[in-house]
Amino acid sequence: MTSRKPIRKAVFPVAGMGTRFLPATKAIPKEMLPIIDRPLIQYAVDEAREAGIDQLIFVTGRGKTAIVEHFDHAFELEATMTGRDKSLDVLEPTRIQPGNLVTVRQQVPLGLGHAIWCARAIVGDEPFAIFLPDELMIGQPGCMKQMVEAYNEVGGNLISVLEVPEDEVSSYGVIDPGKRGFGPGAALTEVRGLVEKPSREAAPSNLIISGRYILQPEVMRVLEHQGKGAGGEIQLTDAMAQMIGSQPFHAVTFAGKRYDCGNKVGFVEATLAIALEREDMRDEVRAMARRLLAD
């Protein structure tokens, strides 16, 4: 196997204003909205750590300080809990080693591609992962760990994909697939092209890009000269499409469940689904759901 640089860094674009969830997100970042008792950003960070990634880069904007504070040391809280003989184990996932969390600002909302480009100085000359926290990916192992395992086999660039009904493809980025069904768990597909939000008739497949990426650092140089695309924004999909053919590019079909927490219905679905999987509450939640559905 060819020696490859390990995936040590992850970029979390968290500068969005969360307008779909107003007024809840007027003063609270959407990434801090909780699914049960953990904010969305915590699920993404936990997934990164499971995959062996320890350097976290948050691309933030105005009003996003709560995200950083969530992963900071809370001396007063911990002292109070200790004084009341309460375990601090519940806070363990929020602890990040000094120097392993870096923030950069996206001062102008110019799209996902621009947000990633804002992290170029921190990423440097290393391959890196990207997490879109709105997309909650639940699996064993997690989505990024599955992707890192695939990266160790084929290198290059990888994206996570999921199959959706054909009438839903126009809402997503879609891949043009080549060779399919190889690699770890037969989960890999060669990527010949990428199309952002195609019509149902023009879509080359029903495999949609699902919020997790492993990219080579050359994408930063592509983004530097990337023009505006769909929605008048600098699209990451357009930059990735330019790299196809010059570097290996594969899709990993995620073995797990995806919840689109960027909209309210998906957020409610994720909350219910995860509650029904938790031993400490699933029986009560199931009984509650039956009562509500009976009314």
243: domain CATH number is: 3.90.550.10
User: Do 122 and 74 belong together in one domain?
Assistant: yes
Query: In this structure, is residue 138 part of a structural domain?
Result: yes
Please check the confidence at residue 112 and state whether its pLDDT lies above 60.
Answer: yes
What local confidence, expressed as pLDDT, does residue 229 receive? 66
User: Do 144 and 289 belong together in one domain?
Assistant: no
User: Do 167 and 258 belong together in one domain?
Assistant: yes
Non-local CB neighbours of 23 within 8 Å, separated by 6+ positions: none
Please check the confidence at residue 2 and state whether its pLDDT lies above 70.
Answer: no
User: Do 176 and 280 belong together in one domain?
Assistant: no
User: Do 58 and 43 belong together in one domain?
Assistant: yes
User: Do 228 and 274 belong together in one domain?
Assistant: no
User: Do 194 and 291 belong together in one domain?
Assistant: no
What local confidence, expressed as pLDDT, does residue 1 receive? 45
Read off the pTM: 0.92
The mean of the pLDDT values for the chain is 90
- What is the pLDDT averaged over residues 183-210? 86
What local confidence, expressed as pLDDT, does residue 139 receive? 92
Query: In this structure, is residue 4 part of a structural domain?
Result: no
Pairing of strands 157-163, 249-253: parallel
Our count of domains for the chain comes to 2
User: Do 37 and 102 belong together in one domain?
Assistant: yes
Maximum alpha-carbon separation in the chain: 63
Q: Which residue has the tokens 């689904």?
A: 273
Query: In this structure, is residue 197 part of a structural domain?
Result: yes
* pLDDT tens profile 19-67: 899 999 999 999 999 999 999 999 999 999 999 999 999 999 888 899 9
| Cβ proximity of 9 and 128 under 8 Å | yes
Query: In this structure, is residue 1 part of a structural domain?
Result: no
Q: Which residues span the domain enclosing 179?
A: 9-262
Confidence of residue 168 (pLDDT cuts 50, 70, 90): confident
HSE-CB at 247 with a 13 A cutoff on CA atoms is 19
- What is the pLDDT averaged over residues 271-290? 95
Please check the confidence at residue 234 and state whether its pLDDT lies above 80.
Answer: no
User: Do 55 and 101 belong together in one domain?
Assistant: yes
User: Do 105 and 183 belong together in one domain?
Assistant: yes
